[in-house]
Structure 1
């Protein structure tokens, strides 16, 4: 019984040693593709998503549409501001008609009523806040409304005085500036409206979609991750002690095991140091922790020959030791 046990253990050790020797003949690496991230510029909820993971999209394709209710509200405000500013400029330039003066007087009457109501409300609140019947914040809100009504009344009185006494050139220039400012706000809204559409910046394959319909997308948040077409390369990790066997520009043959050991002709493009142990892509059974690591990248000579190789798959090269 003991003889059989010794034979079995010896066989296991022999197999392990032979496997260990086999791993030294090849260096393992990974396939990589150039990554690209698509982010949103303004905040909004995902309204629609027009692609799925694994889809190939063209540059300019609409990947998603954001729902931004505030944009429509701001557009209406900007349109109103443009119309009002244009009317103010025309009135300052040509003077007010009798009908416009009637409109201003009617506007003044309405504002006077608002001002009187705000003043009465403020007087009531003053007594109540003194007796601690209401919170100070509630009083402050009424006081703010009173100040707003007062400012509007002062403004309409100034408008009436201008149209009655004639408008100075400085006021015409000010009205023109307000018009330009309103048109600028409208253009800003138009830009925001375009940003609702998340557009593919390049031809790419969608690898991941980070949000779902209805979720909030914040400015600068990555919505889609993808890989660029025909940008595949191979990444290997080497200890410093083996660097003398490899150099930039060297021709290499990369083997793809899952493709029935497909052989791809490549060339070494770069060799650079690796700063973190977590970046190691190759396993060395006898790796010395004191031996610094370097990353070697190999690009295929013919991109079409490697275009069907999946990203992150294992590849090998023959060890030159």
Structure 2
């Protein structure tokens, strides 16, 4: 695929987002150029609202006029359309789950209650941050992290420089983003017991992970480019046997199953239903892609 036929990629993110870093790593591994449109870490996010997007989580990736919500959908969209040759393995879903486990356990590393604005903003999606005993969790979180890092060091990296062997694959993305984020962004590399002497393979691996080099795009240009773009992918074949039982073209809402019910619904016309994704079309004709796992779809 040439640069002239490749749809423009615009990633909406903010610096400290670990899952945004996952997509940065994916795009770097696949050597795909992209633009970055920085978003506020706290709501509201006016640029996404201008596009009709009320989905709450970051990152969001626009591929032309198709917008992918959730890292699972983003990964499938990128690899399916732009980087089908990037290595994948039969164990990738297990590594994906391990990466999420690492992130969830890292919330206990915070060590103190966030300020009121952050707590209010994150309460609907990360309730652990609002625990009254959060200031007591760090020792247990460090102990759990050390045990999990030992799994990465002695099991995942036992066969070579990359997870599972000698070739970089999606498995490295699923685990590498959060290990790098914990070490660097959360500065766990400075904590006794988490240095290069204890985890030499992890440090060598993290140093080999490629770094992204996005171009910055303004809020105005991001909106303009998306609305004037063509669709990057076709709609999936409609699954007539899907258990949603909702007819094509119905107005629906989609929301995360692990968030507070009704907190951040995304409304749109249901135009695609398959085993892998649900696709909504907004009034401005932008299409939103959601994975099947972790989301609730209802008639509006």
Task: Mark yes or no: TM-score above 0.5.
Answer: no
Query: Which protein has the bigger strand share?
Result: 1
The two structures have a TM-score, normalised by structure 2, of: 0.18
Query: Which protein has the bigger helix share?
Result: 1
Q: Which has the larger radius of gyration?
A: 1
The two structures have a TM-score, normalised by structure 1, of: 0.17
